[in-house]
Amino acid sequence: MISKNSIDLVFETARVEEVLGDFVQLKKSGTNFKGLSPFTDERSPSFMVSPVKQIWKDFSSGKGGNVVAFLMEHEHFTYPEAIKYLAKKYNIEIEETEQTDEQKQLTDERESMYLVSEYASTYFQNTMLKTDQGKAIGLSYFKERGFTDETIKKFGLGYCLDEWDAFTSEAIRKGYKLDYLEKTGLSIVKGEKQFDRFKGRVMFPIQSMSGRVLGFGGRILTNDKKAAKYLNSPESDIYHKSKVLYGIYHAKQFIAKEDNCYLVEGYTDVIQFNQCGIENVVSSSGTSLTSEQIRLINRLTKNITVLFDGDAAGMRASIRGIDLILEQGMNVRVVVFPDGEDPDSFAKKNTQTELEEYLEENSKDFIEFKASLLYQDAKNDPVKRANLIQDMISSIAKIPNQIQQEVYIQECSRIMDISEEVLFSTLSQILAKEGKAGPQKAVKTKALEVVKDSAQTKTKVDELFELERKIISLLLLYGTVEEEFEDHVWKENKQGELILEPETHKAKVFEKIFLDLQEDEVAFSNELFKELYSLVIAKLNEEGKLTLETFVNELDSKLSGEVTTILMEEEQYVLHDWDRMDITVKRKDESIARIVNETILALRRFLITRKIDELSKEIKETPSETGSQATLEDIVDYLTLKNILSNKLNRVM
């Protein structure tokens, strides 16, 4: 188990904006940062990070919390895994207490598979660098590819001995269970025998965005026609090839920095580009590009440049991937290398400057690329040309942004020498079949009309929920702030009449709220708020302060999620750029005393209204003259009190 001192040190050192910046492209927004949600497929930023409060909130999915909560949500880490990840990032030495046998048995199965994979990666590296066979076969292969020692180390390249069970036997001898070796796909078990899946192959570890080894790609070096040239780890609880991109761990920061991602096909393409100095590159690892892989890139940038070798047939087969990228609302460009060259070979032959110049000069928009790829075959054949145009419009239909659709229609019209009207009409038909709306130009333009939205559904607001939530918010944000409060108290005038007179006094916000609610004997109806209220008041009464970062870290996931939502609520205003649109949003801290009074009075009035409703219902259900008279008197008293509270509220507001 990790010691409390180590956990405290990790929380003190880790910066939420630095850690989350490795996974999400963040842009400065006032005192905060904003970006696209890493949990949903969105196109407008609703993900907020607060360096001051050291928390994050994803308004599109409702998730939020501290830096550890993010790693647990995003990377599916356990709590100890998240702490260890942060410790590694910030070079903090972890102190661990000895685990009991029972605790060891409770170790998560996924963690066991990760540990096996990490061991395998180290084993394959050592085998290549420290054994005669590894040096003669594995290391010499990578050296022939032009990879330096630094590159080989960076990507953890290795070699699996050309022996039936060398790795499996050594792993078992080291204490790793055969069950996990089989589940990760490293070993194949048949009856009482077990074999190394990657026997005689050079090894490419496949890492998650956080750097954990998920699986492997292995390339055979012999000319065995029966064996696959490349072999990947099978699907497992930790490795899903459709959700992984090779190189994403090393590339993520550079993709965000350059605001562009180069997409290639093979492992060596990624490695050679890195060695050449271009590090914002990932690979789909020889599999067809998937939506999940595109979403990984979308978290870091909206721009993808797909790199193809000169094989036209291969390019045609890969066009489907471009349509998938367009569906995600991303910008796609394409670079084609000269005949006989691929990203690996071209990068090997050129300097970084030469490679960068080639990529820039030969980068084409996807429409231009598609036309140049297919036009030569179709230009003299009307039927083929019509099919090509239809195919291009089908791609444009994938784009969710209508303005971009219209721009691409205009570009397609220019390239293919066909009227925009025909193209818009075709696009409109395609979108209509899919139940989507197209650009306004795709239909006859009509004069602007003001249409009443009669079908709009009105959502009933839970007033009590909102008021209780507001009180928690005030306690968290301003609990220790001392304010001058104005209360209206009953006083007797010279004529002996009772009148309400204002009286001011200084108090801390939490004291004012606590005393007022206690005086009225108000109990929270929402169980979550009730628990939070007790914890916050206890903390403030005992310590006189509330350190939000520490407080959030002490809560369970349900409570910390609610606290994060409350703390980040006003950050939503920043997301919408109200100031830029000349809309003034009144901040809470502009009049804390006013809003505290207003909230407490509103809660009192709500509870009185509810009591009046209950008494009215009681009269209807149990009519009796004596009881009804007493109940009516109570109702009159409550109505009088409600009117007084309403008058107070008007004064406050």
Length of the chain: 653
pLDDT value at residue 582 = 41
Give 225's DSSP letter: T
248-442, which class in CATH?
A: alpha beta
CA distance 125 to 155: 10
0.75 cut: is pTM over it? no
Question: Which alpha helices (H) appear in 352-482, and where do they start and end?
Answer: 352-361, 366-378, 382-396, 402-416, 420-433, 463-478
pLDDT value at residue 383 = 85
Give 138's DSSP letter: I
Report how far apart, in Å, the C-alpha atoms of 85 and of each of 91, 212, 255, 311 are: 10, 9, 21, 42
HEC-encoded secondary structure of 44-93: CCCEEEECCCCEEEECCCCCEECHHHHHHHHCCCCHHHHHHHHHHHCCCC
Write out residues in the chain with pLDDT < 50, as ranges. Answer: 442-452, 454-457, 459, 573-586, 589, 651-653
DSSP letters spanning 569-584: TTHHHHHTTTGGGT--
pLDDT value at residue 649 = 55
Residues 6 or more apart whose Cβ sits within 8 Å of residue 106:
none
Q: Integer distance in angstroms from the first to the last C-alpha of the chain? A: 54
Residue type, 262: Y
Give 555's DSSP letter: S
pLDDT value at residue 247 = 96
pLDDT value at residue 500 = 61
* Domain at 109-237, CATH homologous superfamily: DNA primase, catalytic core, N-terminal domain (3.90.980.10)
CATH architecture of 4-89: Alpha-Beta Complex (3.90)
How many CA atoms are closer than 13 Å to the CA of 405, on its beta-carbon side? Answer: 27
CA distance 120 to 205: 9
pLDDT value at residue 447 = 41
DSSP letters spanning 328-353: TT-EEEEEEPPTT--HHHHHHHS-HH
pLDDT value at residue 579 = 45
pLDDT value at residue 448 = 42
* Per-domain residue ranges of the chain: 4-89, 109-237, 248-442, 463-546+591-603
How far is Cα of residue 526 from the mean position of the Cα atoms in its chain? 29
CA distance 632 to 451: 48
Question: Quick one: which H or E segment has residue 257?
Answer: helix 248-258
- At 504, is the secondary structure helix, strand, or coil? strand
CA distance 62 to 561: 8
Buried b (16+ CB within 10 A) or exposed e, 424-436: bbbbbebbeeeee
Tokens 């409703």, residue located:
613
CA distance 114 to 107: 11
CA distance 268 to 200: 18
Q: CB burial class (10 A; 0-12, 13-18, 19+) of residue 503?
A: exposed
Pairing of strands 230-232, 213-220: antiparallel
pLDDT tens per residue, range 471-525: 888 888 888 888 888 766 666 667 666 666 667 778 888 888 888 887 767 788 8
